[in-house]
Structure 1
């Protein structure tokens, strides 16, 4: 192998690493903001001044996920037009400011509005970050890097639960939302300064001069891509026989996100209803997200070898078993083990749905495809917290784990159908070294 190709691989690997690192940070903050509601919910329910009931808590939890639905659906087409970097900045700023609204909210109405606005930013950010990583990742490591990115979401869940344990008793639930303002002052400046725009996106939009300048700045070559795309957007998801896998991916995402958001919102409260104290209930949230981190890395490696659709189907099946077992009271050590294993499969199953989507749509429509899959899945994310609230309010918390396990089975069926009706595309080659002097 020549020294040029080695150096090119090294430099392109460093650029991919830079993109993953910055996206990892913003997704970490995304995860904290998303999961903080479930982490502080027991404290909010115990706050007499707030007057929050369990039934209302489920509806309140759905405000953010409804905002995420609109954010994910809207951000994809917009990102495919104006660029990945601008939308990452806008989304991060939006959910940071909204967290401040929640912290200062004088009423449940204002708090709900803040969570809805936060959802717009949260829903827009994740599909863009996934798209960015997919477009910079080497083809043979794409699913692993997508899984690595999504460990940030689970780390955010762990940090949110840790903040809940640390802040609830001493500083109250509002303090956790004040911390949610920090990304505006930490992540946004870093994205502005260091995150490059996607080279594949720029070429697909005909902005070759801009792509060439960025490639020169980072010492890499332009990826060999097709000619500039004439159009993308939602119609591109239904052309050329893609309508079937598009609909199946949407339905799989619906089941997966109903499961993820239902469990993450209500796990501490459901475990308290099973007889565990508050400390243990919040610890389960930490443990399930630790399992999620392990699961992302394992799933990514398996998906690079066997395919993301196949791994997603197997993972959802194992998730159904794990979540169902959570409803069976066992010794504490066994419960922790089950919670951890459920986390290993729960979060990475949904991530592999996104990974499968990135490999089945071209550059012009990729962000729209990922965003629409996440966005249509948000209907499940809205339903999950609401459904958990209805079960809790009706004294049927024992059915919660069974219902969420059923959502996993639903996802198995449709991700499998999506795999049968679609074919994986080769990712654009990762940029390599520009000629001498750059």
Structure 2
């Protein structure tokens, strides 16, 4: 793909700049919904298990968490490819609609089996949205701020994760766990009609599907480079590009890093309240630890994004994963509650933004025409870690070894640092001419 530079006047136009901000803001709001619906399950788990609701046990709850992340795995992988076929915009709204309806279904589920089915369907939609939203943010951001744009959009996911425990705290005792799911779905019903009017189609996707004039129009409206690309008749071209030539070792190592990152994100994110409860902390503190974890994640997205744009996303991933292993291990050490809140905050600052910078690395490494597919597959392969993390946490809890959970997740951080370091070696040694801008 080649791009003709847009005029400085067009790029600097206040109207075009505002339109780009609107696109990023809409993606942020949609990812906020994603974050709430992702983390709401972990927020109600202690009450559901302790109260025997739907017959949930630690092991069964872990299995349902894995159903969700398996759905995310499938949705994530499919979204990158389907986007090339039908467009980015329809895929976004289909994914948000699906996880909203499924969340309502969770609130009215009559049994654990039906509840698990709705969490599986919810996962399809949740997984499909994130890579597309990140691709939107990178495409509609000008200059050397694409890693920061990725971080900004992903702060919404952590904001959703911080809000979810507060919804649970406000509703579980007074109204019951079902109302937590029902209330969580309400914002989407308000936001979707607004987002539908304000979110444009991707110029890169339009150009790749042979709609050059439409692509040029959207690019001009938003002060972006004019996309000039031949129509791709091979629907699998973007997937083949991930392995062509000597690209395959880098691709596989990106996938392994994403596996480690999402195992951390979903393992620690889902089981933190329950493990903390098992280690003797009060229920209120256990839930608020999740809020502190996600508030740290919000700060981490902004810090890591700025640093990644300055020194390279790959370098930040290696450092962040190594530090994550230290702070996650400290979560299992018996500390005063005040000190533990600090540790939880820094663990969240590192682990969420470390995985997000994996996405920034992959997005910068690939051509814009292949970005949706590359992001979809790296997130999708990482979802195997997201499936394994909740399962591992549930298994350790069921066996009475809650104290081993954080040690296992800390080891995962070391693995992520090593695999991204090896990916950097393959880029510099095997494909020095196409190293991209990922660090």
What TM-score, normalized to structure 1? 0.93
Gaps of 5+ in 1: 428-438
Q: Could you tell me which residue of structure 1 aligns to residue 306 of structure 2?
A: 301
Q: Could you tell me which residue of structure 1 aligns to residue 151 of structure 2?
A: 147
Q: Deviations over 1:178-225 (max 9, x none)?
A: 123224422321221000111122123221122234345x36465244
- Counterparts of 2:86 and 2:209 in 1: how far apart (Å)? 9
Q: Could you tell me which residue of structure 1 aligns to residue 11 of structure 2?
A: 8
Which of 147, 157, 163 is matched with 1:159 structurally?
Answer: 163
User: How big is the shift at 1:274?
Assistant: 1.2
Structure 2 residue 355 is matched with structure 1 residue 350: yes
What TM-score, normalized to structure 2? 0.93
Q: Could you tell me which residue of structure 2 aligns to residue 214 of structure 1?
A: 218
- Counterparts of 1:397 and 1:369 in 2: how far apart (Å)? 36
- Counterparts of 1:400 and 1:392 in 2: how far apart (Å)? 8
User: How big is the shift at 1:419?
Assistant: 2.1
Q: Could you tell me which residue of structure 2 aligns to residue 274 of structure 1?
A: 279
Give aligned pairs, total: 423
CA contact (8 A) 1:200 1:223 kept: no
Shifted more, 362-371 versus 272-281: the winner is 362-371
Gaps of 5+ in 2: 1-6, 428-433
Q: Deviations over 1:233-265 (max 9, x none)?
A: 322211132111111011100111011100011
Q: Could you tell me which residue of structure 2 aligns to residue 434 of structure 1?
A: none
Q: Could you tell me which residue of structure 2 aligns to residue 432 of structure 1?
A: none
Q: Could you tell me which residue of structure 2 aligns to residue 425 of structure 1?
A: 436
CA contact (8 A) 2:304 2:353 kept: yes
- Counterparts of 1:281 and 1:122 in 2: how far apart (Å)? 25
Q: Could you tell me which residue of structure 1 aligns to residue 375 of structure 2?
A: 370
- Counterparts of 1:283 and 1:181 in 2: how far apart (Å)? 22
CA contact (8 A) 1:150 1:296 kept: yes
- Counterparts of 2:147 and 2:435 in 1: how far apart (Å)? 12
CA contact (8 A) 1:54 1:392 kept: yes
User: How big is the shift at 1:402?
Assistant: 0.2
User: How big is the shift at 1:149?
Assistant: 0.5
User: How big is the shift at 1:415?
Assistant: 1.3
Structure 2 residue 209 is matched with structure 1 residue 205: yes
Q: Could you tell me which residue of structure 2 aligns to residue 118 of structure 1?
A: 122
User: How big is the shift at 1:15?
Assistant: 2.6
Secondary structure, in 3 states, of the residue corresponding to 2:154? helix
CA contact (8 A) 2:19 2:222 kept: no
- Counterparts of 1:53 and 1:339 in 2: how far apart (Å)? 26
Q: Could you tell me which residue of structure 2 aligns to residue 127 of structure 1?
A: 131
- Counterparts of 2:18 and 2:230 in 1: how far apart (Å)? 26
Against the structure 1 CA distance between its residues 241 and 59, is the aligned structure 2 distance closer, same or farther, given a 3 Å change threshold? same
Shifted more, 76-85 versus 290-299: the winner is 76-85
Q: Deviations over 1:272-316 (max 9, x none)?
A: 111111100001000010100000000000000111111011000
Q: Could you tell me which residue of structure 2 aligns to residue 431 of structure 1?
A: none
Structure 2 residue 380 is matched with structure 1 residue 384: no
Which of 236, 240, 251 is matched with 1:235 structurally?
Answer: 240
Residues 310-329 of structure 1 correspond to what in structure 2 (within 5 A)? 310-329=315-334
User: How big is the shift at 1:18?
Assistant: 1.2
Q: Could you tell me which residue of structure 2 aligns to residue 33 of structure 1?
A: 37
Against the structure 1 CA distance between its residues 287 and 163, is the aligned structure 2 distance closer, same or farther, given a 3 Å change threshold? same
Secondary structure, in 3 states, of the residue corresponding to 1:359? helix
Q: Could you tell me which residue of structure 2 aligns to residue 192 of structure 1?
A: 196
Secondary structure, in 3 states, of the residue corresponding to 1:348? helix
User: How big is the shift at 1:226?
Assistant: 4.2
- Counterparts of 1:82 and 1:243 in 2: how far apart (Å)? 27
- Counterparts of 1:139 and 1:242 in 2: how far apart (Å)? 26
Q: Could you tell me which residue of structure 2 aligns to residue 86 of structure 1?
A: 90
- Counterparts of 2:272 and 2:207 in 1: how far apart (Å)? 45
CA RMSD of aligned residues (A): 1.6
